[in-house]
Amino acid sequence: MTDLRDLYQEVIIDHAKHPRNFRKPEGANRTAEGVNPLCGDQVTLYLEVADGTIRDIAFQGSGCAISTASASMMTELLKTKTLTEADRIAERFHELLTGAPDPSAEAPELGKLAVFAGVREFPVRVKCATLVWHSLRAALADDHRVVTTEE
């Protein structure tokens, strides 16, 4: 049996209770909104992009611990990354949650976000973790449609 601690690791609880970069940056020049119509979670992601690099990244919204921590930890990791790097990290994160399980596979570029591997054992919660990442992809593509987890 999978332990609840695989889902609610301390770092996740910490970010859920004290989300980092929970604000609307002055210089944001790209925003993307994401909603999960099944549970009502809602997130708005703000990016300040210049010269192909993420100068600032922050978010606002309301959601569960998993979606809030995912957004918070994402903003910490992606600040100062290039758009290409951000895109690759988003792809790695998606694989971590939805790909075939491969314990030997390492994703060093994900850093602390590797703790979300535990969410894989809670299939109904995968969408909570990936919501903000769908929004990131929309922001990277400069796509202004509202992203939903049901597409």
Partner 1 sequence: MSARPATAPGAGAPPPPALDVERLRADFPILARRVHGKPLVYLDNAATTQKPSAVIAALTRYYSEYNANIHRGVHLLSEEATHAYEEARTKAQRFVNAARREEIVFVRGATEGINLVAATFGRARVGAGDEIVISAYEHHSNIVPWQMLCDEKGARLRVIPMDDRGELVLEEYEKLLGPRTRLVAVSYVSNALGTVTPVARIVAAARRQGVPVLLDAAQAAPHLALDVQALGCDFLALSSHKMFGPTGVGILYGRAAQLEAMPPYQGGGDMILSVTFAKTQYNALPYKFEAGTPNIADVIAFGAAVDYLSAVGLDAVAAYEDALLRHGTAVLEAIPGVRLVGTAPAKAGVLSFLVDGIHPHDVGSILDREGVAVRTGHHCAQPVMERFGIPATVRASLAFYNTAAELDALGAGLRKANEVFGR
With contacts defined by CB under 8 A, how many residues of the chain interact with partner 1? 22
Select the residue interacting with partner 1 from 18, 24, 40, 143 (CB under 8 A).
40
Residue 28 or 66: the one with the smaller Cβ distance to partner 1 is: 66
Which tokens is 53 given?
Answer: 């690099």
Sheet holding 30-36, edge to edge: 53-62, 41-50, 30-36, 147-148
Q: Is 122 in the site for partner 1 (CB under 8 A)?
A: yes
124 binds partner 1 (CB under 8 A): yes
Q: Which helix (H) or strand (E) holds 96?
A: helix 83-98
Position 65 contacts partner 1 (CB under 8 A):
yes
Maximum Cα–Cα distance across the chain: 48
Interacting residues with partner 1 between 10 and 29 (CB under 8 A): 13, 17
Cα 33 from Cα 118, distance rounded (Å):
26
Nearer to partner 1, 41 or 56 (CB): 41
Residue 79: helix, strand or coil by DSSP? coil
Contact footprint for partner 1 (CB under 8 A) = 1, 4-5, 7-8, 13, 17, 38-42, 62-66, 68, 122, 124-125, 128
